Structures are given as structure tokens and as C-alpha cells.
Structure 1
Amino acid sequence: MSIQILNIVLYSHNDKCRILPLKTGQFNVITGASKTGKSALIDIVDYCFGSKECKVPEGPIRRSVSWFGLHLKLNGEEAFIARRCPANRSTSEDCFVEVGNSVNIPNASDICKITNTKGLETMLDGWVGISDNIHEPPEGQTRPPLTATIRHALPLCLQSQDEIIQRNQLFHGTSDNFVAQSLKDTLPYFLGAVDDEYVKKKNEQRKLKKELRNYEKKLNELSALRGDGFEKASLLLAQARDAGMVETNPESWEDIVAELKNVASIPLNQNEYLSENSEYELLSKERKVLLNKKHKIHDEIALVKSFEQDKSSFSKEAKKQKSRLKTIGLFEDSNETNVCPLCSHKLSETIPSEKEIKETFVELSKKFESLSKTKLQLEKPLSELEDELQTTRQSLSENYRKMEAIRATNDYLADVQEEAVKHAHIRGRITLYLESLPELADTIKVEEEVERIRAELDRLDDDLSDEKIQDNLDSIISILGNRLTNWAQKLKLEHSKFPLRFEPKRLTIVADTNGGPVPMKRMGSGENWVGYHLIVHLALHLWFVCKNRPVPNFIFFDQPSQVYFPAEQYNEKSLENVSEEDELALSRMFELVIEVINEVEPNLQVIVTEHADIDKEWYQEAIVERWRDGIKLVPEDWPREE
């Protein structure tokens, strides 16, 4: 993903529009005199990219502009974003966004609030390709985890006039310690030292650790059972073996438990030791028949009683219906068949005569009397069933006395009974023990799963470890160092004969000299500071483009020639006040910029605001606008709000 700037757009309070066109994938120069608004361009870009505060200087620009806008080129699309100029306030949350395959710069009347800075920032994150990410500070540090956004990438793209000549800070806004620390934390992600799937792998790691704890808990439970439980299980199996219930003698705990389950599943039958024709066996069979007969009689008695209850309910209902028909007495004195006997109101239809109604009533009464006299003959079968139940109970008692007599006098049967009780006792203890065991998976399968999870966690731990990230970062820094050293030599910067390296933990560049490391803040000369700012930003953006990292593909430098070409010495298209050595140094600097742009064309855009208007063909071709002779960022005729 990439973002480059097609146009910088300003809207006046009377709906006029000022468009500053830029060339994507190329070197762009806006040259002009002082106080024309060149330095405000970086602040406008920063503000449109979601800055918390509008840093455009107070004065004509803020008084004359109603909205600031950027026309952006995305991957295969275009976008237009705008943000309201806050005028007398420090900021505004009013943001406008339009996206499409091709987007025209909207008219001032079409600009309105569509989203806020949070929504704008989310869209910019998506356009530039920032994926889910998180930086977790080392243990012992109190700052919270941090997610990289477009706001953390932007300091890598902007260099204002007073920043490009700084020896203590290398990046935009890092004079603020909070901004500097945020950049240190997120820079490994932007460089690609942190895996793009870091968050996904981190979540997977947490999930696997939870699964591992659950499986280890199961293994600990099994281990406890194998300790205290192994001896108990072995003892129970030995008792079953002694009683002749099992013959095997397994050694492993799993096999012992499996054998105990087999013993518990065998049904007990104390009669298996008796001959089928023995007296005791015959009495046992007889008892089963008597018990079944007893249960059957109980069911039949219950059925007869339910019939009796239904009959009683039916009789009550019949009496109720008969009493309702007695209201026929209302008609006794009525001779008219077309007059209502209740209200004496004439009826449109003829009602039945008194005689007809009485005849019907008499007929129904006879039927009810016949029905009420009819009795279900249930007493006799009920009495017979109760007699049969009493006889069956007596037979069961007699059967029990005979069985007890045989059992008491037969030594063999006594032994059999004792053996059955013994087996039942052992089987009961085994069943109780097995029921107390938790439902656990096969130990081998659990151990295999634990090993698999541990192997996966080892891989994830390696991918997510600070050591792995640091190794990746060291490798990137080494590659960048080669570029920095070569370019520093090309620009003939101080200490360029020594290896140079970018130091992300301190956000500076360091020369590893024979006398020890020399950071940029200990290097002298504004020319060196500007040169090192330039080559670090070019080297980083070359890496970002080649590795398709989620950083906007533009760099904005404000007046990098100031150390060679002060504004007060300017004479249009003339370098007569600049030494030949400085002129060559200035040319080398801009030629390096063009060289890097060409190396990755069209994926890097460099925008430079300058006082200088160098009479060189390559420089003149790069100029997009000259702000002189009354031409400025904001036209003089725009109205101002006080």
C-alpha cells in the first residue's frame, strides 16, 4: 500500500479554492521568498493526517482559510480528505472524506463534516496498509501497550525547517519525549522486524497456553490417581482374583482399571452353582411365578376401582342434567304459542306447546331413571380378585418358609450363598471405586497433545520473542548502515570514512570511529546535520518501498539548503553569493534525492520547499510553483476572518 500527494488544496471563506499541484513518484520543488507560506505546507499535511493540534502559524493563512485539503493517490484509487481550519481554536474535529477510482477536487460548497479525526485516522491506517499490531513494553515498565497508527508513521515523512538542522533530534516531533518514545516502540513494526501477524500469533499463543494448562491439569489428576489410586485398584483386583472373578494380573494402571470395569460388568447370579432340577431351584422358579401373579392381581384391582369411580361421576352428571329440565314448570300457565312465557313478548316464530314439551320431558325422565337404576356389577369381581390376592400372598409365605428350611439344612447351599454375597461385596467396592474416577481422556493421547502444543508454543515463542525481533532489527540496521555509509561518503560528510549505523533505540545516527561511537549530537557543522537527516530519511524510505511497509511514500523537506544558501543572500537563479564548494555540496544533496527516487520510481515522492532557485536543468524541471512577486500560498484577495 502507498499514499502520495496529488494536490494540496485550500478553501477560502467565500468558497474560492487554491490548488497546489504536485507530481507523484518524482522530485517536487516549491521555491519562493520568505513569508509566502512555504513552511506552513508541512503543518497543513500534518493537520490533515489527523494531528491533535493545528500548528499552522497564526496569521493570514488561518484567518483566510476555511478548510485544508489533500488530494491523495492510493493503490489503484484516489482520495480527497479535508479538515476544517480551527481559526481561533487549536483544533477541529470536522473532517471530510471522499474515495473512488478517480476523485475530483470538490467545490467548497460540497465540503462538510462527514467524520472526525478518529474515523479519518482509521481510514488512513487502512489506505497505508497498517495491519493489527501491538507493542508490549518490557516487564517492569509502566507505559501501556501501543498500537502503531498513521500518526506514528508520519514523523518518518516530515522534516520542518527547524528540525532538518537539529543535531539532537532526527525525526519530526521527537523533541516531545512522548512522540519520541512512541516512535521507538513502533519503528520495529514499520521496518518489518516485527511479524505482520504478530497480533494473530500472540492470540494463538494465549489460546495454546490455556489449552496446555487444561491438559497438564488432566495429566496431574491422572498422576495423582496413579499414585494413591494405583495401590487401591491393585488391591481390588487382587480380591477379585482371589474370589475367582478374574484370572489376569495386569501391571499398568490403565490395564488394571480396564480389568476392573470388566469385572463390574459381569452380572451376579447365585443360582449358577445349583442344578436346574434341585428343589431349591424349583422353589426359586415358583417364587418368581407367584411374584408376577401378585403384581398382575394388583393391576386388575386398580382397574376395577377406576371403573367404580367413573360410574359415580356419570350418575352425578345425569342428576344435574335432570334438575335443569325441571324449569319446564315455567310453561304450565301458558296457552299461547307465539308469546314468550318469561317476558310476554310476542315472538316471530311459534314455540312448542306445553303438551309437546311435557311429553319430551317425561320421556327423558324415564330414560334417566332407567340409567340411574342400572348398576355396574363390579362388587363381585372385585371381591374375587381380593380373595385371589390373599391366596397368592399365602403361597409366597409358604414358598419362603420352604426355601429357608432348605437353605438352613443344606451346607452346600449355604456355601453358595456365602460365595454370592462375597462376590457381590467385591463387585460393589469395585463399582464404587470406578464411579469415583473422573472421566479422563486416554493418557497417551493427552501426552501426545501436550507435546504437540508445547512444540507449537516453542515455535510461537521463538517468532514472538524479543530476541527474534532484535535479531531482525539488527539485520535491517546493518543493511541500512551500508547505504548510510556510502551516501555519507558521496555527500562528503564528516565521519563518512567510518561505518555509520542508524540507532533506533536513541533515534539517531552513529559513526563507529576508532575512538568509539560518535552520535550525531557530537558531530559538528549544520551541513553534516542536514546531510545526515537527509540520508537517514532516504535510506528508511528506500527500505519501506522495497519491503512494502505501511508508511506513506512521500518525504517533505523544508529548506534543506539553508546551511548553504541563506534566504537573505538569495538572488534569483544566481549562486554568486555561494562558494563553489557549497554549490557543489548543494547539488550533490539534490542529485542524491533524485537518484533514490529514480531507483524506486514511481513509488517515492519527495517534496522540497526552498528559497533557492538553482539554475540547473534538473532543478528547474522539479519546480512546481514559484512564490515570488506577490504569489503566495494564500492569495492576497482572500477575505480574512478576525
Structure 2
Amino acid sequence: MHLLALALYHRDGRQAPRTITFKPGALNILTGESETGKSAVLDIIEYCLGRQHISLPEGVITQTVGWYALLVQIGSTRLLLGRPRPAGASTNKAMLLIGDHTLELPAGDRMRANADTDALRAELSARLGIDDFRFEPPAGAERYAFNVSIAQAVYMCLQKQTEIANQQLLFHRQSEPGMAQMMKDTLPYFLGAAGPEQAARQRQLAEATRALRRVQRQIDESQRDNESTNAALHGLARLAQEAGMVQAVPDRASAAELNVLLREAADTVADPSAPPVFGEDGMQERLAAERQALREQLHDLNEAGALLDSWQQESQAFTGELHTQLGRLTSLQLLSAEDAGAPEVCPLCNQALEEPDPDIEQLNDLTRRLQHELTDAEALQPSRTRHRQELNEQIADVRRRLQANASALQALQASNRRLQEINDQHARQAHVQGRILQELQRTTSQSADESGSLRRQAARMQERIAELQELVDADDVRAETESRLSRIALDMTDWARELDLEHADEAEEVRISLSLLNVVLRTETSRIPLTRIGSAKNWIGYHLVAHLALHTYLLKHQRPVPHFIMFDQPTQAFFPEEVHDVGALTDADWEAVRSYFTLMRDVVNRNGQGLQIIVCDHVNLRDDWFRDAVIENWRQGKALIPTDWITEA
């Protein structure tokens, strides 16, 4: 698959898109100044290839563009891959057109969503020849299965400027969660070291292993049930022993011995010569009823006594008050009627009174009434005293009867406990026999061969797993992958020396490490990963040789991968910011920059028209071959977004 053109459609619906045309099977250089949109080209291409969200910063591109479209060619077929500007963070809408060599970029009014990203990727994967299979992670691995598609192949085709100069990683989006492991899982397939057959065997092995684990859990559960059953049988045998139904039970009795003992206990018949013994019928109920009646009688007597005591206290208070008033009035009897003054005049101050004082006769009459009431009140006291004595005697009698009742009830209960112990013997044996029969019936109803059947099933599964493991081991995907990476390492080593990268001359081999997903140099004494090599110049150089050698191998062996590579800012080690930095470059720097592009040109030529390389960079060399490779030069106001789009926005 090669890229033919990239188109941006204005949001206002104008018909003519902003188009970048690529040359298939050739070196394509898009050069220009900073902030002209060069780095955005890679993000747009990835979005058109099916990524659900476009990783563009908010700005003039997102404000003016309504549709993005990519025209690609696979063999003799052209495909138009269109994606609308996402309304939110992402979208799965897509436009897919398929045609022959006459298919071109459509006008703006023809851009309509007719598919989604799944359909788009499925079509691209099928036309690239990617086998339709699902990768299953090894048994026990804590990651998800996934369908192999162009989604994984694209990671080998793109290098953002933040990735090509990163000593920690080699592939596009490798640092995102789960991506590195996905690349390790799929790289063997894209190299040709593994395929659907190996994946199918891996899947069968994983499924068989999971099935074996399920059966093993059933065996463990059956074993735990058996152990629980033996414990229950042993407990029932102990109960039968305590009930006198069997002799001593061994501490370590087997299941067979326990079954013999329990069946013996189940057949035990109670002694007919020892009939049940019962106490006097209804005695306890009568004593309890009597006790209740006595308690109620005692309660009534106590309430009557409390009422009498309250009456006595009120009477004493009343008579005391009568004595006090009578004592005051008695002293007035010393006066005669002649001694009394005018009742309307105060005898002390001779002042007139509002109400006249009572006369002597009235006071004497009041004294006689009080004496009469006092005599009547004192006459009742002996009667109350006798009544209180009678109540006290009745209360004492009821308490004696309650004590006698309690003693009788306690003696009866003690007697009944002994009788109950005798009577419970047969009931206890009957209860134990019932539990024994229930447990024997339950254990008998279980399949005696259940555990053995599960173990035989597990043995067959283990044989099947061993067979599948032999097939998987025979595939030896790891060894096949390393073998192919060794062939790729031949070109990597030569090109690293050609670029004069650090440690390249002393290295016996420069290769891609599958475990590290990075470049590693192997010397006579050690292995040097890219993380231990300094300078952005070397990091970029090793990224270049790794991807160029990898795609050369993939193209040679016709692996189902898009045969294009896109590098963003491969000379950033020499042009860190603006183009005016060119004046600060030394001749050695210019030679290094030229060597990078020369290598890319030579690799394209070596692969005929099979490999397409797209480079977005600041540099603009004067060499004729370089100028021939330039497809866009974004300087003097030219950029990804036309000036009139910005002024009209």
C-alpha cells in the first residue's frame, strides 16, 4: 500500500480541497519552516487510516477543516479513506470508496459518511492480505485477546518527531498503555515467524488449559465434599457411641469402617423391657397455676396495705391540725362576753375594721365543733390499727404458701429431670438413627464414581495439552522471530556504520530486540541498548536504520504491511528550532544530514518502486536528487492550511 494524495476539505463546503500529492514507490520530502503544519500531516494520515481520534492541537487546522481524505493504492486498486472532523474527542464515522486507477479525490459536496472505522480497517486489512484471526494471549496472561489488523501494522510505518529521537522506544505509540505488549505479540506474525495456524494452536492450548483448570476445580470440590462427608460420618458415629448404640469409634476410622458402624447403629432397637417413665400428670401445671394465684393475691394485699398506710398518714396530719387550732381557741375561753369590745373596732389601735371580728360566742361555738371532729377522728384509729394487723397476717400467710409452693415445684423439677434423662434415651437414639439414615441416603445417592470420572477426564485433558504444547514448541515462534530479526540486523549493522553512528564500528551486530522493542548493539563483551547511547543524532540514526531495514525485509518477503514509512523531523538534532539555525551548522553536521537523506534515497532505489518514504523536515538541500524528491516547500507564506482559509475563517 502506497499513499497517493492527502486532502483537506474546508468546513464551509467549498468544492476544491487542499491537496498534497505523493509519489508512490519513491522518496517524498515535504520541507518547510516551523509552524507550517508539517507534523500535522502524520497525525492526519493516521486518522484517515482508522484511528478514532485525531491528535491535533486546537488551532487553525481544527477550526477550518471539515473533512480529511487519503487516497491510497493497493496493487491495482485505489481506495478513498475519508474521515469527518470529530464533533467531540473522537468519532468512528468514515467514508470508503473503492475503484480502479481512475478513482480520484472527490469534490467537497460528495464527502459523506458511508462506513465506520471497523469497516475501513477490515477492508484495508483484507486487501493487504492480513489473515483474519484473533490473537489469544498465553494462559494466565493478564491481557485481552484482539483481532490482528492494519491497526497493528501501522505502528511500524509512522515515526513522530517525539518518537524518532526517543532513546526509550522504537515504534509509534509504543509508550501508550498495552501497546508495547501488543507489538511484541504481533511482530512475529508480520515478520512471518507465526501465522493463523500457530495462533489457532495457541488458542486451542489456552482453551484446553482453561478447561483443565475447571475440571481440576471440580476435583478439588469433590475432594473437599468427601472430606466433609467423612467428618460428618465420624461425628455421627461419635453421637451413636454416646447414645450407647455402638462400641468405641477409632480416631482415624476409614470411610468404610464408619459406614459399618453407622449401619450397625441404624439397626439398633431400643430395649422393650425399659418402658418410658413419666411423672405425675399435670402436677407441674397445677403448682404453676397456684403460684400465679398466690402472687396475684399477695399483690392485692400489698396494694390494700399501701392504701391503708396512706389513709393513716392523712388522718394523722388532719388530727394534728385539729389539735393545733383547738389549742389556739381554748385560750379564748378565759374571756367573758363583757370583756369583748366593739367588734367593728380594733382592740389594739382603736381603728375601724372593714369586717367586724367574730364575737366570743362564735369562737366558743367553733371550739366545740373542732373538739367533736377530733373525738370522731380518734375513735377510728383502733379500727385502722386492727385492719392493718389483719392485712399483715394475711400477707405473711400468702408468703408462707408461696415458699411452700416454690419448694414443691423445685422438687418436682428435679424429679422430672431425672425422669427426662431416662425418657430421652430412646428419643436420643431415634434422633441419631434418623440423622444416620439421612446421611447414608445422601452419600449413597451421590455417584460413587464421580471423583474417579473427573480424574480420568483430567488425565485425558493433560494428554491433549501435552500434544498441543509439543506442536506449539515445535513452532518455536521465538526462535523464528529471532532468526528473521538477525537477517534484518545485517542491513542495520551496515547502515549504522555508513552513518557513522556511535559504537557502530565496534559492534558485531546492530539489531532489534523483541523483548526490549528497541535497538541493541552486540559487541564481543556486552550488549548496549539504545538507552545507554548518547546524543539525539545517534538515537535518530538508529531509528532510521532500524525502520529502513525492517521495511526492506517486509517488502522482500511480501509481508502484509503497508509499504510506506513516514518520518517526521529526522534532522531535528541539527535543526532544533527554526530554519535560520542552518547558518550555525558545521560541515560535519551538513554531511550527517546529507547522509541521512542519502541513505533513504538509496534504500528506496534498492527496493525498486516497492517502498515509499515520506519525510517532513526543515532541511532543503541543494542536491538535484533532493530537489527532485521535494513534493511541497512550505516557505514564504505557504503552509498546510492556505492563507485564504485563515483570512476567511
**CA distance in 1: counterparts of 2:63 and 2:591, whole angstroms:** 41
Determine the structure 2 residue equivalent to 1:593. Answer: 600
How far residue 570 of structure 1 moved from its aligned partner, in angstroms, is 3.0
SS across alignment from 1:5: strand
Contact 1:570–1:611 (CA under 8 A) maintained in structure 2: no
Normalised to the residue count of structure 1, the TM-score between the two structures is: 0.58
How far residue 177 of structure 1 moved from its aligned partner, in angstroms, is 2.9
Determine the structure 2 residue equivalent to 1:12. Answer: 10
CA gap 1:146/1:92 in 2 versus in 1, 3 angstroms: closer
**CA distance in 2: counterparts of 1:167 and 1:96, whole angstroms:** 37
Determine the structure 1 residue equivalent to 2:484. Answer: 476
SS across alignment from 1:561: coil
- Equivalent of 1:488 in 482, 487, 496: 496
Give per-residue Cα distances to partners, 1:370-418, cap 9 Å, x unaligned.
xxxxxxxxxxxxxxxxxxxxxxxxxxxxxxxxxxxxxxxxxxxxxxxxx
Structure 2 residue identity aligned to 1:153: A
**CA distance in 1: counterparts of 2:194 and 2:44, whole angstroms:** 31
Structure 2 residue identity aligned to 1:158: L
Structure 1 residue identity aligned to 2:481: L
Determine the structure 2 residue equivalent to 1:42. Answer: 42
How far residue 542 of structure 1 moved from its aligned partner, in angstroms, is 0.6
CA gap 1:125/1:590 in 2 versus in 1, 3 angstroms: same
Asked if 1:584 corresponds to 2:591, the answer is yes
Q: Which consecutive residues of structure 1, in runs of 5 or more, have no partner in the other structure?
A: 210-449
How far residue 539 of structure 1 moved from its aligned partner, in angstroms, is 1.0
**CA distance in 1: counterparts of 2:134 and 2:52, whole angstroms:** 22
CA gap 1:208/1:611 in 2 versus in 1, 3 angstroms: closer
Contact 2:579–2:618 (CA under 8 A) maintained in structure 1: no
**Structure of greater Rg:** 2
CA gap 1:562/1:176 in 2 versus in 1, 3 angstroms: same
SS across alignment from 1:6: strand
Give the aligned length: 392
Structure 2 residue identity aligned to 1:171: F
Determine the structure 1 residue equivalent to 2:90. Answer: 91
Contact 2:27–2:614 (CA under 8 A) maintained in structure 1: yes
Contact 1:6–1:22 (CA under 8 A) maintained in structure 2: yes
**CA distance in 2: counterparts of 1:474 and 1:613, whole angstroms:** 39
Structure 2 residue identity aligned to 1:70: L
**CA distance in 2: counterparts of 1:614 and 1:490, whole angstroms:** 20
Structure 1 residue identity aligned to 2:10: S
Give per-residue Cα distances to partners, 1:17-70, cap 9 Å, x unaligned.
111001000000011111111000000011111113210221000111000110
Contact 1:25–1:601 (CA under 8 A) maintained in structure 2: yes
Contact 1:569–1:577 (CA under 8 A) maintained in structure 2: no
Determine the structure 2 residue equivalent to 1:231. Answer: none
How far residue 121 of structure 1 moved from its aligned partner, in angstroms, is 1.4
* Equivalence map 1:292-331=2 (5 Å): none
Determine the structure 1 residue equivalent to 2:60. Answer: 60
**CA distance in 2: counterparts of 1:147 and 1:526, whole angstroms:** 36
CA gap 1:479/1:64 in 2 versus in 1, 3 angstroms: same
CA gap 1:640/1:51 in 2 versus in 1, 3 angstroms: farther
How far residue 199 of structure 1 moved from its aligned partner, in angstroms, is 4.8
* Equivalence map 1:431-450=2 (5 Å): none
SS across alignment from 1:39: helix
Q: Which consecutive residues of structure 2, in runs of 5 or more, have no partner in the other structure?
A: 210-459
Determine the structure 1 residue equivalent to 2:170. Answer: 170
Give runs of ≥4 in structure 1 deviating > 3 Å: 196-209, 460-467, 639-642
Determine the structure 1 residue equivalent to 2:627. Answer: 620
**CA distance in 2: counterparts of 1:207 and 1:35, whole angstroms:** 53
**CA distance in 2: counterparts of 1:623 and 1:585, whole angstroms:** 19
Determine the structure 2 residue equivalent to 1:127. Answer: 127
Q: CA RMSD in A?
A: 2.6
Asked if 1:632 corresponds to 2:639, the answer is yes
How far residue 95 of structure 1 moved from its aligned partner, in angstroms, is 0.8
CA gap 1:150/1:466 in 2 versus in 1, 3 angstroms: farther
How far residue 196 of structure 1 moved from its aligned partner, in angstroms, is 4.7
* Equivalence map 1:136-535=2 (5 Å): 136-199=136-199, 464-465=472-473, 468-496=476-504, 497-498=506-507, 499-535=509-545
Structure 1 residue identity aligned to 2:92: E
**CA distance in 2: counterparts of 1:636 and 1:57, whole angstroms:** 19
Contact 2:38–2:640 (CA under 8 A) maintained in structure 1: yes
Structure 1 residue identity aligned to 2:591: L
How far residue 603 of structure 1 moved from its aligned partner, in angstroms, is 1.0
Structure 1 residue identity aligned to 2:54: C
**CA distance in 2: counterparts of 1:93 and 1:12, whole angstroms:** 20
Give per-residue Cα distances to partners, 1:435-492, cap 9 Å, x unaligned.
xxxxxxxxxxxxxxx9xxx99x96x765543761112112111111221111111111
Determine the structure 2 residue equivalent to 1:564. Answer: 574
**CA distance in 2: counterparts of 1:521 and 1:551, whole angstroms:** 28
Structure 2 residue identity aligned to 1:152: Q
Contact 2:33–2:579 (CA under 8 A) maintained in structure 1: no
Structure 1 residue identity aligned to 2:107: N
Asked if 1:555 corresponds to 2:565, the answer is yes
Determine the structure 2 residue equivalent to 1:341. Answer: none
Contact 1:133–1:198 (CA under 8 A) maintained in structure 2: no
Determine the structure 1 residue equivalent to 2:229. Answer: none
Give per-residue Cα distances to partners, 1:206-232, cap 9 Å, x unaligned.
9999xxxxxxxxxxxxxxxxxxxxxxx
* Equivalence map 1:72-83=2 (5 Å): 72-83=72-83
How far residue 94 of structure 1 moved from its aligned partner, in angstroms, is 2.1
Structure 1 residue identity aligned to 2:625: W
SS across alignment from 2:540: helix
Structure 2 residue identity aligned to 1:189: Y
Give per-residue Cα distances to partners, 1:331-390, cap 9 Å, x unaligned.
xxxxxxxxxxxxxxxxxxxxxxxxxxxxxxxxxxxxxxxxxxxxxxxxxxxxxxxxxxxx
How far residue 137 of structure 1 moved from its aligned partner, in angstroms, is 2.3
CA gap 1:41/1:569 in 2 versus in 1, 3 angstroms: closer
CA gap 1:97/1:522 in 2 versus in 1, 3 angstroms: same
**CA distance in 2: counterparts of 1:466 and 1:39, whole angstroms:** 45
Normalised to the residue count of structure 2, the TM-score between the two structures is: 0.57
Asked if 1:541 corresponds to 2:541, the answer is no
**CA distance in 1: counterparts of 2:203 and 2:169, whole angstroms:** 36
Give per-residue Cα distances to partners, 1:140-163, cap 9 Å, x unaligned.
212122332111111111111111
How far residue 596 of structure 1 moved from its aligned partner, in angstroms, is 1.1
How far residue 640 of structure 1 moved from its aligned partner, in angstroms, is 8.7
How far residue 185 of structure 1 moved from its aligned partner, in angstroms, is 1.1
SS across alignment from 2:7: strand
Q: Could you tell me the percent identity over the aligned residues? A: 34
